[in-house]
């Protein structure tokens, strides 16, 4: 079964450093997403990406964050100048583009646990 792959599974970084979280979405999917989950809290939407541009972003996704699809398979989330409060599990997801039905399903990766120290 196809799956969304995220690397690394755990990243530890010092406050103020930049991190790049990587994701390989399912190959025929065209919508990509990043979510985060701070320990013990809700899963929060960060950003969606389609056709090489951001289609929607939340208030959390400020100038500290950026996304990129550098090649045909990877989708990355860059966090500049990390803060302690950026410590969370970050989930990548992907879904097919709408093809005329009323439903597409979002597939999530297993997440990257980011710890900022």
Partner 1 sequence: DAKTTQPPSMDCAEGRAANLPCNHSTISGNEYVYWYRQIHSQGPQYIIHGLKNNETNEMASLIITEDRKSSTLILPHATLRDTAVYYCIVRVDLVLSNFGNEKLTFGTGTRLTIIP
The binding site for partner 1 (CB under 8 A) comprises: 4, 30-31, 33, 35, 37, 42-45, 48, 50, 55-56, 89, 91, 93, 95-98, 101-111
Q: Residue 23, SS3?
A: strand
User: 85 or 105: whose CB is closer to partner 1?
Assistant: 105
In the DSSP assignment, the letter for residue 86 is: G
Residue with tokens 């989708």: 75
Beta carbon nearer to partner 1, 16 or 32: 32
Residue 16 Cβ vs partner 1, minimum distance, rounded to whole Å: 26
Q: What is the DSSP letter of 96?
A: P
User: Least distance to partner 1 from the beta carbon of 80, Å?
Assistant: 23
Nearer Cβ to partner 1 (15/38): 38
Pairwise CA distance, residues 59 & 23, whole Å: 22
d(CA 9, CA 67): 18
| Closest approach of partner 1 to the CB of residue 47, in Å | 9
Beta bridge partners of 48: 33, 56
**Whose Cβ is closer to partner 1: residue 98's or residue 117's?**
98
Question: Cβ(48)–Cβ(31) under 8 Å?
Answer: yes
CB of 52 to partner 1, least distance (A): 15
């Amino acid at each position: 079964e196809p799956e969304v792959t995220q690397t690394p599974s755990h990243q530890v970084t010092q406050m103020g450093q930049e991190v790049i979280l990587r994701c390989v979405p399912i190959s025929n999917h065209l919508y990509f997403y990043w979510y985060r989950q701070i320990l013990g809290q809700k899963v929060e939407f960060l950003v969606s990406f389609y056709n090489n541009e951001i289609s929607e972003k939340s208030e959390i996704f400020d100038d500290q964050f950026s996304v990129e699809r550098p090649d045909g398979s990877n989708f990355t989330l860059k966090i500049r100048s990390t803060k302690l409060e950026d410590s969370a599990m970050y989930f990548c997801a992907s879904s097919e583009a709408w093809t005329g039905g009323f439903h597409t399903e979002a597939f999530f990766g297993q997440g990257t646990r980011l710890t900022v120290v």
